[in-house]
Chain A
């Protein structure tokens, strides 16, 4: 069944888009990430212009992170004070990112910068996550404690000043790394057009040692706020949010996120991290592949406005 999208100006198969929403929603609910780094390339692949794809995906992510956040809220698995502090830092990061975005566009190197950041970030973050989770798995099988979180194992990060206590997460850390992480997420999100959940989750786990119980809910709460505001900003400035496309993605996405959140909670944390690591790493390799291999077609077209 085909439906014509009013803003994207192309017809799409309803069931295909619902299915894509479901699949990405499932992953998003399972790992507590937005899934923008998966959905945006998928939409571009089925013929939606990149600008409309990025703008519409933000509302889809808002919907699936809200439904996921409700599930975690009921389980008291969201650290609101941590999310708020990350958000405040994220806003500063976003502003800096937008400034660099404009500068790079003026230099005509934006596309390359985006592709390179995808490759670098995804492969490095993915590889670290795979390594950490495989090591944790190995330790469990050899009868050692699975996590390294024990008294005395604190890294230099925990020696920093301005310490704060986040009750829900049961952590006592310096405000400096919290602000730094928030800034990086906002900055990268503005440059790459993503929510940054796949970066936020590992950073909260490995840098701040936030327990897995609250990390996903907190990440979802943050993703919800950033993506809801991104939707409004995209709609107000670029007029590129396709409501029909967004609706289809949302309906598929929220259902998928529900199943994903359940599957995620039923799984061991190390196994979950390994899966997310593999996924992130695979997407990173896919981008690297495009950059390194000679493309089938050296030429491409881009619309630069009505004549």
Chain B
């Protein structure tokens, strides 16, 4: 179903360095920054290439690196509800609202994040699904909860089942000791909007460089036209849809008329 886009040669490279002390630079390039949603959209696979390069005048590169790529979709509020038995029937008895959490989240690395750095480093840098901030509205406050909070666990599990959250510890492949690639799979139900791509480079359990990129998922052509009409001219759109219904109803009765 999904197809891999050919890597376009003339893509602007996104370059970023992680502070002055770093001895290396991280260069990443995304195969496509603009995902056009057309009527035949069934999802798309993006390829991200990255390369580790020494800063000018600095010493040689280290022996091995680790990479964690985090792709986050537009923020949205989601309510997680839990059912319970009340008077013999199952009804929603409790709910929590997750505030401004990513609608899409992919955390891709070359090996399990727990092996890349110590838990403290991972927590401080918010690396991995367990350390990703998923703030909930609890009473008047908005705060993240402990990792094994049942609502947090259920939220991640449901989003994963919908194909929107994904953590893969073998998704990043090193082509050479300093060049890597990974594939970002955007499912067909990937929300429209701006996505952020963050690449963190680790060596010896510490982050040594970081690079950012972005992409957007937008409707184009007919899809965009219909969506805009429905949003901006609701009443007219409603009349048009009703007229379409009446026309199709009438047309069918003419076509099928036997007497």
- Report A's interface with B, CB cutoff 8 A: 2-4, 6-7, 9-11, 47, 59-60, 62-67, 69-71, 74, 111-112, 228, 231-237, 239-244, 246-247, 250-251, 254-255, 257-258, 290-295, 297-307
Contacts and interface: CB of A to CB of B under 8 A. Distances in A.
Grouping DSSP codes into helix (H, G, I), strand (E, B) and loop, the A interface class, with mixed when no group exceeds half, is helix
A81 B63 CA distance: 87
Given A70-B253, A237-B234, A304-B77, A231 B242 contact: yes
Contacts of B41: 4, 11
The 9 closest A-B pairs by CB, nearest first: A235-B238, A66-B249, A254-B252, A307-B75, A307-B100, A299-B154, A63-B245, A232-B238, A67-B249
Nearest to B192: A9
A110 B195 CA distance: 34
B249 A64 contact: yes
A224 B250 CA distance: 12
Q: Could you say which of A244, A254, A305 has the most chain B C-beta atoms within 10 Å of its C-beta?
A: A254
B249 A241 contact: no
Interface string B238-259: 1111101110111111001001
Contacts of B85: 294
B238 A292 contact: no
A221 to B, nearest CB: 12
A303 B237 CA distance: 24
Interface stretch (B26-34, B198-206, B218-226): B218-226
Interface of B: 37-42, 74-85, 88-92, 97, 99-101, 151, 154-155, 157-159, 162, 188-189, 191-192, 219, 222-224, 226-227, 230-231, 234-235, 237-242, 244-246, 248-253, 256, 259
A251 B140 CA distance: 50
B252 A292 contact: no
A291 B90 contact: yes
Contacts of A10: 188-189
A3 B101 CA distance: 28
Contacts of B159: 301
A243 B230 contact: yes
A298 B221 CA distance: 40
